[in-house]
Amino acid sequence: MKKYISSENLFYFAWILMVMHFCVANSNLYSYNISIISYISIIIFGLAIIMQKSINWFDILLVVLFCSYGIFAYLSSKDMRVFWFAIVLCASKEIDFDKAVKYSFNVTVICCLFFLGFYILGLSEETIMINSRGVRHSLGLGHPNMCSAYYMMLMNLYMYLKSGSINIKKIILFTFGSIIIFLITKSITGLFTSIFSLVIVTIYKYCSAKKMFLWIIVLALICGIVFFTLIPIIYNNHFEILDKLMTGRLSQAHFFYEEYGINLLGNDFDIILTSKNTTYILDIGYSKMLFNNGLIYYMTVILGYVFTLFRAIEDERFDIIILIAFFIVYMFTENVSTYIFMNVSMLLFTCYLFDRKSCEKWRLKLYERFKNSKQ
């Protein structure tokens, strides 16, 4: 029995519960979302932390400080994502990253098929939107953008898990799939992010200077983060054309900066964003983290990505870079991936949160997987 009740397995169980929880919350079946799932998951993640075999006094202090920060951030912003980020990373010290990716992929596929089946059978409705791009459908998966996001995320998780077997036929198939999803949802972000990922994979596959190409990708991603962080802050009339292309996201984000500014633990936007008749949005992921969740959370996530990308270059781990690239680019215009349960790549930050030994353990696991995929 002890073999099954371990820190690792407790983590996976809570992770699966919360991925399902978020999928339901973002779908047209959101009314069936049960908040008690969150409380149960918090307890299980807490048990996963307590049952860690390699925990030491420094780790205990780090867990207390990090989880306390998550609680204070919630009290300041009334947004749970920082708390979840803190407790999940603390509980993930002894997990296998690839298993977490597999569980995310499998659970999301099952949920999407379930929602789609309910919609086809007429047991749930879909969200239909009409704008200058035409009629946008969601097929029961929530907002049309979420329908597109699920396809993109699943495509990229699949490419990570099957990185050794991605060939030109699969790339062409994914491209056709991206176009079909765009015709259904009319999501520009979805199409752009999908094509971006597929183009990178294709170039890398046939590029001879692979290490240089990895550096170009990483530096471009960092420039993108800086750009989409600064523009909402310094926004003026010169950015109106870009703002229109982004359906007002820049000017809306600038409004929140002007009204609330930036503080360490975040600002409370709950009333203004969730009001039934609100016209305000804060979709840009980097603005969401910086203005709503605070400077500490923003810097933790960004530095986590930068360190992980540099380490991936050192280890020549293109699969990790493409996985992270998807989430970084998606956050240029959407904030869904600022929640850890919708962004499994954040689990890679664990080896920077804990000691060097833990980091080396993660690197060894990832290296073994990469070596096996080449065989």
Last residue of a domain, one of 166, 186, 206: 206
Segment among 44-48, 168-172, 245-249, 283-287 with least mean pLDDT: 245-249
User: Which pLDDT band holds residue 358 (cuts at 50, 70, 90)?
Assistant: very low
pLDDT tens per residue across span 279-295: 678 889 999 999 999 99
Average pLDDT, the chain: 87
pLDDT at 4: 67
258 DSSP 8-state letter: H
The candidate with the shortest Cα–Cα distance to 140, out of 24, 277, 57, is: 24
Question: Within a domain: residue 17?
Answer: no
* CA–CA dist 193, 347 (Å, integer): 21
My answer on whether 200 and 223 are in the same domain is no
Q: 260 near 291, Cβ under 8 Å? A: yes
My answer on whether 199 and 213 are in the same domain is no
User: Which pLDDT band holds residue 60 (cuts at 50, 70, 90)?
Assistant: confident
My answer on whether 221 and 199 are in the same domain is no
Question: Within a domain: residue 92?
Answer: no
pLDDT at 371: 54
Question: Within a domain: residue 60?
Answer: no
Question: Within a domain: residue 6?
Answer: no
My answer on whether 193 and 216 are in the same domain is no
Torsion of CA 184, 190, 194, 199, to 10 degrees: 110
- pLDDT of residue 244 exceeding 50: yes
Q: Tell me the residue range of the domain where 242 lies.
A: 209-375
pLDDT at 368: 60
My answer on whether 362 and 230 are in the same domain is yes
pLDDT at 364: 57
- pLDDT of residue 86 exceeding 70: yes
Question: Within a domain: residue 101?
Answer: no
Three-class SS of residue 136? strand
DSSP of 68-122, one letter per residue? Answer: HHHHHHHHHH--SHHHHHHHHHHHTTT--HHHHHHHHHHHHHHHHHHHHHHHHTT
pLDDT tens per residue across span 97-144: 999 999 999 999 999 999 999 989 988 888 888 877 788 988 888 889
pLDDT tens per residue across span 186-237: 988 888 899 999 999 998 888 888 889 999 999 999 999 999 999 999 998 8
My answer on whether 228 and 371 are in the same domain is yes
163 DSSP 8-state letter: G
pLDDT at 285: 93
Amino acid 178 reads S
My answer on whether 196 and 267 are in the same domain is no
- Give me the mean pLDDT over the 155-182 stretch: 92
Question: Within a domain: residue 72?
Answer: no
My answer on whether 198 and 214 are in the same domain is no
Q: 51 near 38, Cβ under 8 Å? A: no
pLDDT at 343: 95
Amino acid 111 reads C
- pLDDT of residue 258 exceeding 60: yes
* CA–CA dist 310, 282 (Å, integer): 30
pLDDT tens per residue across span 286-319: 999 999 999 999 999 999 999 999 988 888 888 8
User: Which pLDDT band holds residue 350 (cuts at 50, 70, 90)?
Assistant: confident
| Percent of the chain residues topping a pLDDT of 90 | 55
- pLDDT of residue 345 exceeding 60: yes
User: Which pLDDT band holds residue 57 (cuts at 50, 70, 90)?
Assistant: confident
Question: Within a domain: residue 86?
Answer: no
Last residue of a domain, one of 189, 206, 223: 206
Question: Within a domain: residue 75?
Answer: no
My answer on whether 243 and 305 are in the same domain is yes
Please state the domain count of the chain.
Answer: 2
My answer on whether 153 and 168 are in the same domain is yes
Last residue of a domain, one of 206, 223, 241: 206
* CA–CA dist 328, 331 (Å, integer): 5
